[in-house]
Every structure is written in C-alpha cells, then in structure tokens.
A and B are shown apart, each in its own frame.
Chain A
Amino acid sequence: MKVLWFHLMPYQDLPEDFKDKHNSVWVDIDPALFDPLRGHEHYHEYMDQLEYAATAGFDGICVNEHHSNAYGLMPSPNLIASTLARNTRESAICVLGNSVALYNPPTRVAEEMAMLDCISGGRLIAGFPVGTPMDTCYAYGQNPSNLRERYYEGIDFVLQAWHADKPFAFNGRYNQQRYVNCWPRPIQKPNPPVWIPGGGSVETWQMCAQRSFVYANLSYFGHQASMTHIKGFWGEMQRLGKQPNPYQAAFLQFVGVAETRAEAEKLYGGPADYFYNRCLHTDPSYANPPGYTSEATVRARVTSQVLRAAEESRKATRSGGGAKFFDEGHVVIGSPDEVAEKLLSVCKEMHVGHLLLLLQFGNMSRDLTRYNTDLFAQKVLPQIRHLYEDEWEDHWWPTGMPKNLPKTQTQSRTTVGAAAE
C-alpha cells in the first residue's frame, strides 16, 4: 500500500464565534478575517510540514485546490507543488488537483503540470477534480449546466496535449484552439498517472473505470462515508469486467496517533473540533447548483459529499457540536497499534491501495503535527505498508526518471523508486 501525507492548509485563526457570526467558511468568507502576516506564517509552516513528511517515510505528499475558502489556502496548488518538487527528492508529488474546467485554455494545466513533472523528475501525480460547487460555480462563476461537460473535455484536452508529437488543433465543444503545443513536455510517458478526486458521482466512477484512472474518494467523514462511494466504484469496475486492482482506488482519512486512545482524544479533540465546527461551517445554499449533480446521480440517489458537509454542519450547529467525529470514525484515533489495525481493516474492506492521510487538521500546532507525523511514520507505517505488496502491482504511481540515462542526467536531483542508478 502507498501512504500519502495530505495538506489542506487551513487558516487557523477563525474566531471562536465564527459559526454564530459568519455565514460560511467558503465563497462569502469575510476578507477581514484573513491576516496576510498569518498567511505568511501558515504557508511556510505548512510547506515545511509537507517537506518533512517527504523525508519521514511517506510515499507521497499531497496538495489540492480550493477558492475563497478558509480551510484550504491553496487556490493554486501548482505554486506550492513547484516548491515541493524542488525541495524534496523521492516522494511522489500528488496534485489533487487542478479543476480543468476553470482554466481557459486548459493548455495552462497541461503546461504547469508538465513543468512540475520536469522539475520533480517524473514524480507528479496529476489529479483532475471536477471541483466543488463552491469553488467552481460560485467562487469561479462557472455555469453548472455545462461544468461537467467542460471538465471531461478539459481532461481530453490535457491528455492530448501531453501525447501529441506535433502541434495540433483542438476543435472541442467548449475549447477551440488552432495551435495546441505543450512546451515543456512531461517526463512520464505517455503521461503522469491520472487520479480523479471524486465523491458519489456515478459519472466519475464510470470515467475512472473506463479510462483506467485512479478513483480517489475524498470525504471529510472518514471511512464510513467513503465506503458507499468506493463500493459504487468497484461495482462499476465489476460491471465493466475490469480487474479489481486496489491501487486503482484511494481514500482520505483524518488520523491522530498518540500513546493511548485517551491521550489521543485529549490531544486531537481541539483541532478536530476546530475543523468540523468551524472549517466545515458551510452554507447549504452553495452546495447544489443546477446540473452540478447530474441526472444520473440524482437517479442513483447518491448524496453529494458537499451537500452532506453542509447538512452535517447545520446539524452540528443545532446540536452544539460534540465530539462524535471520533466515535463515528471521521477521525481515526488511538495508539499506533490501534490505528494500524483500524486502517488495515478499512483499507481491506474497501479494497483500497492508496491511503491519503490528514495528519494535520484544523488548528493543529506545528509541534503536534510533527508528533503525529513522526509517530505515524515510525510505528504505524511499518505495520500497514506491506498490504497488497505481493499481490498487486501499482500501475498508477509515478515512474520517476527513465533508467540508463547518460551520466550527466543521472546526477540530477531526484529519484523515485530505483530510477536513479
């Protein structure tokens, strides 16, 4: 199993009465709440944490894209990823990802990801989320009635731009461009591995199954919430007669490790409360613009993760919060052995080979993040990474630099696996 260290980059100074005084953490978040000097500290601290995770034994480090959002300070994940690509040596750089429908032309995405692949030496994982309604339809004003179509076309555009061996014209429904010519070119051939972060959209399951992309279920509500969606994906794989390689799936889990469960509750209760009761204070008005949830999904009656977050947030407001995030598995906590056992069990049950971890969440301090990361790397990681190792091959992992390069190039900065010999 591959284990990746994921950062959302939350703003840590939302006031205690945020939920009462403010409408939402997203879209209409009060600009006055952002202190740029704290922003300076946050970015450096968070990039330090990602770089540290890369040296601590995690297989990959992971960034993502949000807009007008106080729990996700990365409107441009590529900016962060470029510094990580330069300051790390071995870990995969997982960009989960770029919402291609937001970029006109999508050439920009093809180019920047190719740059990241070159800088990192073939360590890029290229993630393409459709993007949440808040990010895409509200913060970026895209029309929800054609967002998904634009998104699918954008992915085609980027892949063609990477594959083409000469300049070509792209004549799409939403993008027409006379000269598509992606310079620079990605190191990984034919393209960096493609991961699709998704929730419960039937179309996303179908696309991942049909096109051999990784389906990465990103839920803030832990393995219990992911279970339905991951099972939906495997159902689609089975229906299409595809091999159930666990490395074609990924899921996100909040984790807090300590010497004992009681200690973990004490340490992580505050940061979890900050995340679930301030960062997830979202306005359901923004959760379901027309067309964002497709007709097929409405027919399949799969609740959207965003709608769920908004509803959960309102429910929590009504009940005054509470610490159910531990009891319901939104955050897995415990001693290293307990956490390892739990993660092994849920990964096996979901048949998932890529585990994305949020070991920093909410307003977790620098020290506690380091403690959580170290304890996980030293005492949990060795117990779980053997899973699937002898049974399945990971076809969705970066290849790194090609082997047998001329001497000058083998002295480059980077390696993935055995690539730098």
Chain B
Amino acid sequence: MSSYKERFVETPLGQTRIWEKGRGRKVGYFGGLYGVPQWTPFLEKLSETRRVIVPSLPGFPGGPSSEPLDGLLDWIIAAHDAFVAAGLERADLIGASVGGALAAECAALWPDTVRKLVLIAPFGLYDQNEPVADVFAQRPGQAAALVSQKPTELASYLSVPKDGDAGEWEVQALRASIASAAVIWPLGNTRLIKRIPRIGAPTLLVWGENDRVIPASYAKRFADAITGKTRVRLVKKAGHMADFDDPKGVVRSIDSFLAA
C-alpha cells in the first residue's frame, strides 16, 4: 500500500490525528471497535476513487483523551467536532460499528452536515428478541473470531507493527476498548431509536451476512427508522467488520451508492 498523509488538527479536546489519501470527492470514515490503528485495505481501495479522510475519535488511536467525556451527548459533540475539524462538513460520511453509532448521531443532530451516510453494522439499536452480542466478555483471543470472518488477519492487523513499541501499543488498544465501552456498554443500545428519524440523508446500510455481534436483521430496523432514502447491502462471507472482511465488495457498494 502506498503511503497516506498524516496531519493533526486542533479540536476542543486536543490534538486530533487525520489520515488522508486519494483525490476527488471527500468522504470521511469513523472507525469501529478498535478505531483505526493502521491503514486498512478497505481505506486503500476506497482512496482509488475518492479523497478519504479519517479523523481519530477521542480515545481511539490518534485521538485526544476520552477521559473528559461524560455522557453520550459529549461523545456526539466530540465526534462532530472531529468531523468538522477534518474539513468534512457537507461531505459523505462512513461510520463502522461504534463509529457508525456516532456517525448516525451526527447525521441526526446536524442533518445538513452529512451529504450521504454509509453505516457499516452500526451499534445504537437493541432488540430483546435478537440481542446484540457482548463484545467485551470474551476470552483472550476469541474476540477476533466474534467480530471478523478473517480472525487471523484481524489479529495480525491489531498486533504491534515491527517498528512499534509493544507497551505503548497495548495501552493504545486499552484506550480504544475503554472508548468503545464508554459509548456502547452494556447492551450496545445508545437509545438512537429516539433520534434516528431525524436522519434525512440518503443512507446505505452495509452488513456482513455473518455478523455475530449485531445480527444482519438490524439492517432493516435501521432502514425502516431512517427518514432519508435508504439502501441495504448484505455482504456475503463477512462478519461484523464487513469492511475488513471484504474490502473490495464493500467499496464497490459504497462507490455505486455515493455516485448515484
């Protein structure tokens, strides 16, 4: 993969890392449970046709500390601040998993700020009959198999790079999991249901058919609740991290949705 650019912008919480690559129309990306600790094949593929901009959310790799954040409102404002500071206003926005929950909130509360919205297996809703899995109560080494159909590749992606500091890498991963827990503990239900009708942007819902964290049936729940025009794309042979499991397929769907 060729190199991406890194820059830092100031947000009310502090320095925020922005990764960026590609040319053309801007599209933002909010990462999932682990944030974006390394550039991914999905982002690489996406950058072939668009200018991909990845702001780091608080607590996640490259982001400011999430310690000052209390309730969900603080998190939503912080995500919006990062989005604006990255120069993404009125651009398209992709949010995955935990980042998907926050992207949906931004699109709901600032309806003019997101042109088109892509949600990849977002958290936020909860159905007692089809409960969201507990991503935190997992034995060491088992979480990767829960969230991805390619657990070995995922484990390798999440492990410290050759030139990295193992201790700092572990602390960075811990901070990311704390940030995820802050947003979705204990059930993944952020009560987005109250605000989701405010989403007027055209929205694509991307879901791994084999998502063991949030069942793929949730795609329809989201689509039904969103006021804007929606499209659902189920991805075969993909789990919760569909963009990791099938980068090419997911980029193809996103490209066609954003271009339409």
Bound Cα distance from A146 to B71, whole angstroms: 11
User: How many residue pairs bridge A and B at CB < 8 Å?
Assistant: 53
Task: Kindly list chain B residues whose C-beta atoms are within 8 Å of the C-beta of A290.
Answer: 136, 174, 177-178, 180-181
Inter-chain contact B171/A146, CB cutoff 8 Å? no
Task: Kindly list chain A residues whose C-beta atoms are within 8 Å of the C-beta of B137.
Answer: 138, 283, 285-286, 289
Task: Kindly list chain B residues whose C-beta atoms are within 8 Å of the C-beta of A173.
Answer: 70
* A322 close to chain B: CB less than 8 A: no
* A298 close to chain B: CB less than 8 A: yes
Inter-chain contact B178/A284, CB cutoff 8 Å? no
Q: Which residue of chain A lies nearest to B137 when distances are taken between CB atoms in the complex?
A: A285
Bound Cα distance from A284 to B140, whole angstroms: 8
Inter-chain contact A295/B182, CB cutoff 8 Å? no
- Render B129-156 as a binary contact track against A, CB cut-off 8 A, 1 for contact: 0000000111110100000000000000
Size bin of chain B's contact surface: 20 to 34
Bound Cα distance from A283 to B138, whole angstroms: 9
Size bin of chain A's contact surface: 10 to 19
Task: Kindly list chain A residues whose C-beta atoms are within 8 Å of the C-beta of B174.
Answer: 290-291, 293, 295, 298
Bound Cα distance from A177 to B105, whole angstroms: 30
Inter-chain contact A141/B178, CB cutoff 8 Å? no
Bound Cα distance from A289 to B175, whole angstroms: 12
Bound Cα distance from A327 to B177, whole angstroms: 39
Within 8 A of B (CB), among A117-156: 137-138, 141, 143-146
* B170 close to chain A: CB less than 8 A: yes
Inter-chain contact B185/A143, CB cutoff 8 Å? yes
* B197 close to chain A: CB less than 8 A: no
Q: Which of B70, B179, B186 has the most CB of A within 10 A?
A: B186
Min CB–CB distance B71 → chain A (angstroms): 10
Inter-chain contact A144/B140, CB cutoff 8 Å? no
* A318 close to chain B: CB less than 8 A: no
* B24 close to chain A: CB less than 8 A: no
Inter-chain contact B182/A143, CB cutoff 8 Å? yes
Task: Kindly list chain A residues whose C-beta atoms are within 8 Å of the C-beta of B186.
Answer: 137, 141, 143
Within 8 A of B (CB), among A282-317: 283-286, 289-291, 293, 295, 298-299
- Render B173-209 as a binary contact track against A, CB cut-off 8 A, 1 for contact: 0110111111001100000000000000000000000
CB-CB under 8 A for A289 and B171, given A145-B181, A145-B185, A146-B182: no
CB-CB under 8 A for A299 and B167, given A173-B70, A284-B140, A289-B137: yes
Inter-chain contact B175/A295, CB cutoff 8 Å? yes
Inter-chain contact B181/A285, CB cutoff 8 Å? no
Bound Cα distance from A269 to B57, whole angstroms: 54
Bound Cα distance from A285 to B141, whole angstroms: 10
Q: Which residue of chain B lies nearest to A138 when distances are taken between CB atoms in the complex?
A: B137
Min CB–CB distance A201 → chain B (angstroms): 14
Inter-chain contact B136/A289, CB cutoff 8 Å? yes
Bound Cα distance from A138 to B138, whole angstroms: 12
Within 8 A of B (CB), among A66-93: none
Min CB–CB distance A305 → chain B (angstroms): 17
Task: Kindly list chain B residues whose C-beta atoms are within 8 Å of the C-beta of A144.
Answer: 136, 178, 181, 185
Min CB–CB distance B191 → chain A (angstroms): 15
Bound Cα distance from A299 to B167, whole angstroms: 7
CB-CB under 8 A for A299 and B171, given A145-B178, A285-B138, A289-B137: yes
Task: Kindly list chain A residues whose C-beta atoms are within 8 Å of the C-beta of B182.
Answer: 143, 145-146, 291
Min CB–CB distance A22 → chain B (angstroms): 16
Task: Kindly list chain A residues whose C-beta atoms are within 8 Å of the C-beta of B142.
Answer: 285
16 residue pairs of the A-B complex, CB under 8 angstroms, read: A137-B185, A141-B186, A145-B66, A145-B181, A145-B182, A284-B139, A285-B138, A285-B142, A289-B185, A290-B178, A290-B180, A290-B181, A291-B177, A293-B174, A298-B174, A299-B167
* A-binding residues in B (CB < 8 A): 66, 70, 136-140, 142, 167, 170-171, 174-175, 177-182, 185-186
Return the 8 tightest CB-CB contacts between A and B, nearest first.
A290-B177, A145-B182, A291-B178, A285-B137, A143-B185, A290-B181, A145-B181, A290-B178
* B-binding residues in A (CB < 8 A): 137-138, 141, 143-146, 173, 283-286, 289-291, 293, 295, 298-299
